[in-house]
Chains A and B, each alone.
Chain A
Amino acid sequence: MDIAVVDYGMGNLRSVQQALRAVAPGASIAVTGDPLVVAQAARVVFPGQGAMPDCMRELEARGLRAAVLQAARGKPFLGICIGLQMLFERSAEGNIPGLGILPGKVVRFAGDLRDVQGNKLKVPHMGWNQVRRIEQPASPQGDATITPSPSGGGLGRGNALPLPNPLPRSEGAVAASTVGGSPKVDEHPLWAGIEQDARFYFVHSYYVQPQDAALVQATSDYPQPFACAVARDNLFAVQFHPEKSQSAGLTLLRNFVNWNPV
């Protein structure tokens, strides 16, 4: 099996399947709840919708935890929405533990959010928002501080993303490169062909707070910046729905199916 889409009975995975089929017409794609199929697939997509406590319960009940953990540690792995949130240690939704693959937690958007004009911001955060990629310095010793955005709303301002003790970035996550001998800002291969600040479709009320700033691949503002994409080695996970994000989303999925992390 080329691609396994992990199905633990929480909602509809047809959209994910259709979008993968569109970008990888020759690939075999299984929407599966069978741990063996997940274990044997070359790539794994880990979607999720609804409430995280239900997702965790169903994942356990179907005996999929071990297969998902193994996949997340060893092969191209794409988490989507709750499939991102479940990778972390703990969620405020139902105050439950997650899979604990990545250090950090999942928290809810605060009530009574306002934009700069004072308009009420609704929760769930639903619709098309800009995804601002973090510019990753090429050097593994590089400073892991997140580059402030030119449009304001840099991460230093809010408390949406605590960034204690950033660890050196792992080698596999970002392909190092230099141009003309000078260090170049590197980009994760999954962003290839996607513009900075491209819009993706979101629908969620909780977001992740990774403990390790080096994991954060992109942020989005609502109204404070929050992490909307994380990566480590063979793993990439996003809060938005690439399968519903038209051309930008399909590009990201195409990059995933062609991705061969070291």
Chain B
Amino acid sequence: MLAKRIIPCLDVTAGRVVKGVSFVQLRDAGDPVEIARRYDEQGADELTFLDITASSDDRGILFRIIEQVAEQVFIPLTVGGGVRKVEDVRNLLNAGADKVSINTSAVLNPQLVADAAGRYGSQCIVVAIDAKQAAPGKWEVFTHGGRKATGLDAVAWAKHMQALGAGEILLTSMDRDGQKTGFDLALTRAVTDALEIPVIASGGAGTLQHLADGVKLGGADAVLAASIFHYGEYTVQQAKQFMAQQGIEVRL
């Protein structure tokens, strides 16, 4: 049976892994290559790197990080942040990424998703959606690291991205990000039920129960978390054992 995936997320800026609360207040969490290796040893199913500043200076650093990780870690690597052109997708894939995550640029230029999926295949195109609750059962898409409202409905937007060729959706609740109060399960459920492609729940995992809930209650195909792994609260292995005890199929 297909396993539900646990994906540690590494937010990278200036060559370091950092973590914020609701997209601000950054705290240093260490060296990305070292952290990636640790999570691989613990049994992470994939790794996601988000270049959260995506400045041109940092770009070179990010490429070197991805290259180094790809030489040592043989699980799927997703990289996102600052992807604006098909060429950016190509460069990240060439550096060793297996999937590229597109967020703001998908909103500014949806054709990018279609072009990138057409050129490299849907399997390597992840569309990241940052969503904030607007009303009960309604979520709005934000871009630019959560700073810009778009007026787009998150569920409708996810369906549109699927239609254009996205292979997977990385769905982050801005309300929950870094809060450790659990995923927005209603948001996760609404999006996953509307789609045929896999959905990764993100934003808010603070306990192992939250991870299990993302799968069991939210219906997510994968769960993404940062803080609970970065600061040594739990290992990926512990998270998997906990999920297995809850009857969730995982790769142990």
Interface residues of A (CB under 8 A from B): 10-12, 14-15, 18-19, 21-22, 49-51, 111, 115, 119-130, 199, 201-204, 221-223, 243-246, 249-250
Bound Cα distance A137, B65 (Å)? 48
Q: How far is the CB of A14 from chain B (nearest CB, A)?
A: 5
Q: Assuming the A-B contacts A18-B96, A127-B5, A129-B2, are A246 and B40 also in contact, with contact meaning beta carbons closer than 8 angstroms in the complex?
A: yes
Q: Does B140 contact A (CB under 8 A)?
A: no
Bound Cα distance A19, B4 (Å)? 24
- For chain B residues 197-242, which have a beta carbon within 8 Å of chain A? 197-199, 219, 221-222
Q: Assuming the A-B contacts A15-B98, A244-B76, are A119 and B120 also in contact, with contact meaning beta carbons closer than 8 angstroms in the complex?
A: no
Contact status B195-A122, CB under 8 Å: yes
Bound Cα distance A204, B71 (Å)? 24
Contact status B5-A128, CB under 8 Å: yes
Contact status A123-B197, CB under 8 Å: yes
Contact status B71-A18, CB under 8 Å: yes
Tell me which of A123, A221, A246 has the highest count of chain B C-beta atoms within 10 A of its own C-beta: A246
Contact status B120-A12, CB under 8 Å: yes
Please tell me which one of the listed residues B75, B76, B123 contacts residue A124 in the complex, with CB atoms under 8 A apart: B123
Inter-chain contacts of B186 with A (CB < 8 A): none
Given pairs A22-B71, A127-B198, A203-B167, 17 additional interface contacts (CB within 8 A): A12-B98, A15-B70, A15-B96, A18-B70, A22-B74, A119-B219, A124-B123, A125-B2, A127-B4, A127-B222, A128-B2, A128-B3, A128-B251, A129-B2, A199-B3, A203-B123, A204-B123
Q: How far is the CB of B186 from chain A (nearest CB, A)?
A: 17
Inter-chain contacts of B196 with A (CB < 8 A): 111, 122-123
Bound Cα distance A130, B252 (Å)? 11
Q: Look across to chain B and name the residue whose beta carbon is closest to the beta carbon of A113.
A: B196
Inter-chain contacts of B193 with A (CB < 8 A): 120
Q: Does B121 contact A (CB under 8 A)?
A: yes
Contact status A122-B5, CB under 8 Å: no
Contact status A127-B96, CB under 8 Å: no
Q: Does B177 contact A (CB under 8 A)?
A: no
Q: How many residues of B contact A (CB 8 A)?
A: 36
Contact status B1-A115, CB under 8 Å: yes
Bound Cα distance A90, B45 (Å)? 33
Contact status B74-A249, CB under 8 Å: yes
Q: Assuming the A-B contacts A11-B120, A51-B121, A221-B1, are A126 and B168 also in contact, with contact meaning beta carbons closer than 8 angstroms in the complex?
A: yes
Q: How far is the CB of A155 from chain B (nearest CB, A)?
A: 16
Q: Assuming the A-B contacts A12-B120, A49-B123, A49-B124, are A127 and B45 also in contact, with contact meaning beta carbons closer than 8 angstroms in the complex?
A: yes
Inter-chain contacts of A51 with B (CB < 8 A): 121
Contact status A130-B123, CB under 8 Å: no
Bound Cα distance A179, B77 (Å)? 44
Q: Look across to chain A and name the residue whose beta carbon is closest to the beta carbon of B90.
A: A12
Inter-chain contacts of A127 with B (CB < 8 A): 2-5, 45, 198, 221-222
Bound Cα distance A193, B229 (Å)? 31
Q: Does B105 contact A (CB under 8 A)?
A: no
Contact status A19-B94, CB under 8 Å: no
Q: How far is the CB of A244 from chain B (nearest CB, A)?
A: 5
Q: What are 23 A-B contacts with C-beta separation under 8 Å? A: A11-B93, A12-B120, A14-B70, A14-B95, A18-B74, A49-B120, A120-B192, A120-B193, A124-B123, A124-B167, A126-B168, A128-B2, A128-B45, A129-B1, A130-B1, A199-B251, A201-B76, A202-B2, A244-B74, A244-B98, A245-B74, A246-B74, A250-B74
Contact status B251-A50, CB under 8 Å: no
Bound Cα distance A199, B198 (Å)? 18
Q: Does B22 contact A (CB under 8 A)?
A: no
Contact status B251-A126, CB under 8 Å: no
Contact status A126-B121, CB under 8 Å: no
Contact status B94-A12, CB under 8 Å: yes
Bound Cα distance A159, B78 (Å)? 35
Q: How far is the CB of B21 from chain A (nearest CB, A)?
A: 30
Q: Does B143 contact A (CB under 8 A)?
A: no
Q: Does B122 contact A (CB under 8 A)?
A: yes
